[in-house]
A and B are shown apart, each in its own frame.
Chain A
Amino acid sequence: MKIYDLIVIGAGPAGITAGIYAKNFGLNCLIIGEKQGGLINAAYKVENYPGIFNISGKELSKKFTAHQRYLKIPLKKERVEKIERGKIFKIISDKNQYQSRTIILAFGTETKKLDIENIKKFEGKGVSYQAGDNAFLVKNKIVAVVGGANSAVMSAIMLAEEAKKVYLIYRRDKLRADAIWVNKIKKLKNVKIIYKANILVLKGKNKLEEIILDNGRKLKIDNLLIEVGGVVNTFLLRDLGLEINESGYIRVNSAQATNIPGVFAAGDITTSSNKFRQIITAAAEGAIAVLGVYNYLNKK
Chain B
Amino acid sequence: MIYDLIIIGGGPAGISAGIYAARKKIKTLLITKEWGGQMLKAPDIQNWPGEKSISGVDLMKKMVEHLKKFEIEIKENKEVIDLEKKDKNFSVRDNDQQYEAKTVIIATGKIPRTLNIPGEEEFKGRGVSICSTCDAPLFKNKEVAVVGGGNVGFDTALDLSKYAKKIYILEFSELMRGDPATKEKLEKTKKVEFHTNVAVKEIKGSKFVEEVVYEDRKTSKDHELKVQGVFIAIGMVAKAEFAGDLVELNEIGEIKVDRNNNTKTLGLFAAGDITDVKYEQIVIAASEGAKSALAVVDYLKKT
Interface residues of A (CB under 8 A from B): 13, 16-17, 20-21, 24, 47-53, 60, 63-64, 66-67, 70-71, 133, 135, 161, 254, 272-274, 276, 278, 280-281, 283-288, 291
Contacts and interface: CB of A to CB of B under 8 A. Distances in A.
Contacts of B53: 70
Contacts of A67: 49-52
A298 to B, nearest CB: 13
B19 A288 contact: no
Given A50-B15, A51-B63, A288-B279, A20 B49 contact: yes
A71 B45 CA distance: 12
19 contacts: A47-B23, A48-B23, A48-B290, A50-B15, A50-B19, A50-B66, A50-B289, A50-B290, A51-B59, A53-B66, A71-B52, A272-B259, A280-B287, A280-B290, A284-B281, A284-B288, A287-B279, A287-B281, A287-B284
A6 to B, nearest CB: 16
Given A274-B259, A278-B290, A50 B63 contact: yes
B46 A281 contact: no
Which are the 7 A-B pairs with shortest beta-carbon distances?
A284-B287, A51-B62, A63-B50, A70-B52, A284-B284, A17-B49, A50-B16
B90 interface: no
Dominant secondary structure at the A interface: helix
Contacts of B63: 50-51
Contacts of B24: 133
A283 B47 CA distance: 11
Nearest to A278: B290
A276 B277 CA distance: 18
Interface of B: 12, 15-16, 19-20, 23-25, 46-53, 59, 62-63, 65-66, 69, 259-260, 277, 279, 281, 283-284, 286-291, 294-295
Contacts of B52: 66-67, 70-71
Contacts of A60: 50
Contact of B12 (A50, A66, A276, A287): A50
Contacts of A50: 12, 15-16, 19, 63, 66, 286, 289-290
A280 B23 contact: no
B47 A280 contact: no
A278 B24 CA distance: 14
A273 B19 CA distance: 17
A197 B10 CA distance: 48
Given A51-B63, A287-B47, A287-B279, A281 B295 contact: no
Contact of B49 (A254, A273, A283, A288): A283
Nearest to A52: B66
Given A52-B66, A133-B24, A274-B259, A288 B284 contact: yes
Contacts of B49: 13, 16-17, 20, 64, 67, 283, 286
Contacts of A254: 259, 277
A274 B271 CA distance: 14
Contacts of A49: 50
Contacts of A272: 259
Contacts of B51: 51, 63, 67
Contacts of B281: 284, 287
Contacts of A16: 49
A135 B284 CA distance: 26
B287 A64 contact: no
A291 to B, nearest CB: 6
A61 B65 CA distance: 21
B3 to A, nearest CB: 20
A17 B279 CA distance: 15
Nearest to B287: A284
A209 to B, nearest CB: 27
B294 A276 contact: yes
Contact of A53 (B12, B46, B50, B65): B65
Contact of B23 (A71, A133, A274, A286): A133
Contacts of A48: 19-20, 23, 290
Nearest to B69: A53
Contacts of B294: 274, 276, 278
A72 to B, nearest CB: 11
B295 to A, nearest CB: 6
A213 B168 CA distance: 77
B47 A273 contact: no
A50 B25 CA distance: 17
Contact of A52 (B46, B62, B290): B62
Contacts of A53: 65-66, 69
Contacts of B62: 51-52
Contacts of A274: 259-260, 291, 294-295
A60 B20 CA distance: 18
Given A133-B24, A276-B291, A71 B284 contact: no
B66 A280 contact: no
B287 A273 contact: yes
Nearest to B60: A51
Given A20-B49, A254-B259, A281 B291 contact: yes
A285 B59 CA distance: 20
A280 B286 contact: yes
Nearest to B59: A51
B66 to A, nearest CB: 5
Contacts of A291: 279
A284 B66 contact: no
Given A50-B12, A284-B283, 14 more contacts: A20-B47, A24-B47, A47-B23, A50-B16, A50-B19, A51-B62, A63-B50, A67-B49, A67-B50, A135-B23, A278-B287, A283-B283, A287-B283, A287-B284
